[in-house]
Amino acid sequence: MATEVTVPVLGESITEATLGEWLKQPGDPVAVDEPIASLETDKVSVEVPSPVAGVMGQHAVAVGDTVQVGAMLATIDAGDGAAASAPAPAPAATATPAAAPAKDESGAGYGDQPGAGTSDSPAALSPSVRRAVLEHGVDPGTVKGTGRDGRITKEDVTAAASSKPAPAPAAAPAPAAAPTASGRGEERVRMTRLRQTIAKRLKEAQNTAAMLTTFNDVDMTAVIEARAKYKDLFEKKHGVRLGFMGFFVKAATMALRDIPSVNASIDGDDIVYHDYADISVAVSSPGGLVVPVIRDADQMSVATIEKTIGDFGKRAKEGALKMDEMKGGTFTISNGGVFGSLMSTPIINPPQSAVLGLHRIEERPVVVNGQIVIRPMMYLALSYDHRLIDGREAVTFLVALKNAIEDPTRILIDL
């Protein structure tokens, strides 16, 4: 007897999704609650668990298809999924490690799952992993997966390719033949639903808001020194590393309190002011940029903020962020500096009215007390809706943020 697997309820006002990838192929053993497919919604990826144990039946939809909530995805045939997944005593079983590979917190969780002959099947791999396998010429059967449940990620393929020894040169190489493709190949890949939503929302923001960007720079000396002095004690007490984002989020909430229009939004002909600060933090995920929200960040300590951001980053790579964690937000902080960005003009995240862009820290000559000195400097960029926020308010906000970062004692005594 076969059990139908349907599209689960995805969240308020979400009625459809796109099938991102199949995590189980027909004939694979399936355990209860084991993910069999990944769905892409407008905000996050959602894994669909199996309601019963058994054997994977036929797929009812293909990767890239749009499915409605309640629609059938596949069937699970009756059978002992746990017994089927146990390693057989046959000699061929030695190709599969006896112990499951350890999970890597940095894994993206979008690869394939090893075992049952699926890890070396190109059709079973996610699109990004398949592309990496073809580009690097790596046999997926020899790659140890570090993603969720041991699935292969693109980073695993890249690491395997970099460690692969270069082939020995032939003793008498034949004359090189003219390349057939001349390195001008093309590949057409369908946009993920998340990428389509990002594109749509960013363009709507440009078309709706009167966007303007104001810049300033900040001397990171004091924060760097404080971090170097207390990072070991901080990690020992709180179980999380002390980074720079905790300082910036806390400083931003203080500046938002002083300049409430930067924390406000436009609703028709009304201006909505918020007496709380829900900070959206841009996080990179395998499917694109997502912005989970730190609720009531103004009431949090730096340690709590760092823990929350760390948890968001880990689960974004695993595709495990929840719908409710992506909703709302009164102000956004995007840190392009982790990728090496020197300066940018970030786009606001509607209905918010402002976004703060952080950039890389680099040593530059600056004048301090009449002397030219070398200091670690960072450019700050505040993009805002000029319909609501005046230039004076934008500059005042950046100056308040700059003062707090250059003198972190202000954050401690709430000045």
Question: Which uninterrupted H or E stretch holds 255?
Answer: helix 245-258
Active site residue 136: no
Alpha carbon distances (Å) from 282 to 231, 333, 335, 355, 361: 24, 6, 7, 10, 18
- Among 341, 313, 318, which Cα is nearest to 246's? 313
* 27 secondary structure, DSSP code: T
For residues 401 and 251, give the distance between their C-alpha atoms in angstroms, rounded to a whole number: 6
Q: Are 283 and 313 in contact (CB under 8 A)?
A: yes
Contact 317, 109 (CB under 8 A): yes
| 359 belongs to the catalytic site | no
- Do residues 123 and 84 lie in contact, with contact meaning Cβ atoms separated by under 8 Å? no
Distance CA 82, CA 282 (A): 40
Q: Confirm if 241 and 306 have CB atoms less than 8 A apart.
A: yes
Residues 248 and 332: beta-carbon distance below 8 Å? no
CA dist 231 and 247 (Å) reads 13
CB-count exposure of residue 410 (10 Å: 0-12, 13-18, 19+): middle
* Catalytic residue selected from 120, 136, 386, 407: 386
Q: Which of 33, 232, 296, 390 is catalytic?
A: 390
Angle at the Cα of 84 from the Cα atoms of 82 and 86, rounded to 5 degrees: 75
Q: Would you name the residues annotated as active-site residues?
A: 386, 390
